[in-house]
Amino acid sequence: MFVTTLPIQDAKNPPVLKFPARCVHCGAATTETLPMNLSMGVQKRSKPVLLKFSLPMCAQGGRLERGVAKVTLVPFLVGGLLMGAAGFFLGAILTPAPPLATVQTRFLALAVGALVGLVAGILGGTALEAVCKLFFTPVYGKMLLARPLTAIEILSDTETYLGFSVALSKDKKQLRLTFEHDEVGREFQRLNS
């Protein structure tokens, strides 16, 4: 495993990353690239600034990455929608009516239902994703278990892919890149020094 850190001079003008023409997953020749975006946490002209780069992959690595996304993201979304809808309806139905109905309390049941639905959706989607990860580990290997849960990855400034992860420091001054293959990481470091 090879870890390198790149300084970020200005978060509003992120660096341009140059990757070697080798798959970050296995080191083979690149046959496709996966477009990636990492939020820099700032805005420029009222639009969020994104660090955009293309991650080089071989055909097998790209296929595996898309498969891993289906095993993690789809269960999170489906479980989240089903549990969120159930939580919303139960929360709205079971909320007692306020003793005095006013303009402020007219939609109390819907507000409670929305809160319960949001929490139930996040927890239900995360639970279903965790079960699917365990179920599909024999197919995709330990790399599936190494990837953080979707709910955690959404809330962090980190992106994780096969053989590669990128994380933005809390102060937005450094970019930490981790490569599974040392040779690809060293070549990346030479191209970006």
Each residue's pLDDT tens digit, 67-115 = 888 888 999 999 999 999 999 999 999 988 887 778 778 888 999 999 9
How much is the pLDDT for 38?
Answer: 83
3-state class of 130 per DSSP? helix
CA distance 121 to 170: 28
Residue 124 has pLDDT above 90, yes or no: yes
- Concatenate the DSSP letters of all residues of 133-179 into one string: HHHHHHHH-HHHHHSPPHHHHHHTTEEEETTEEEEE-TTSSEEEEEE
Q: Average pLDDT in the 54-63 region?
A: 88
5-42 tens-digit pLDDT:
888 888 888 888 899 888 888 888 889 988 888 888 78
| Number of domain units in the chain | 1
Query: What does the pLDDT read at residue 8?
Result: 86
What mean pLDDT comes out for the span 124-136? 93
Q: Note the pLDDT of residue 75.
A: 93
pLDDT in tens, 151-184: 888 877 778 888 888 888 888 888 888 888 889 8
- This model's pTM is above 0.85: no
185: tokens are 């990481």
End-to-end CA distance of the chain: 19
Q: What is the pLDDT of residue 129?
A: 93
Distance between CA atoms of residues 66 and 79, nearest Å = 19
Domain that holds residue 142: 2-191
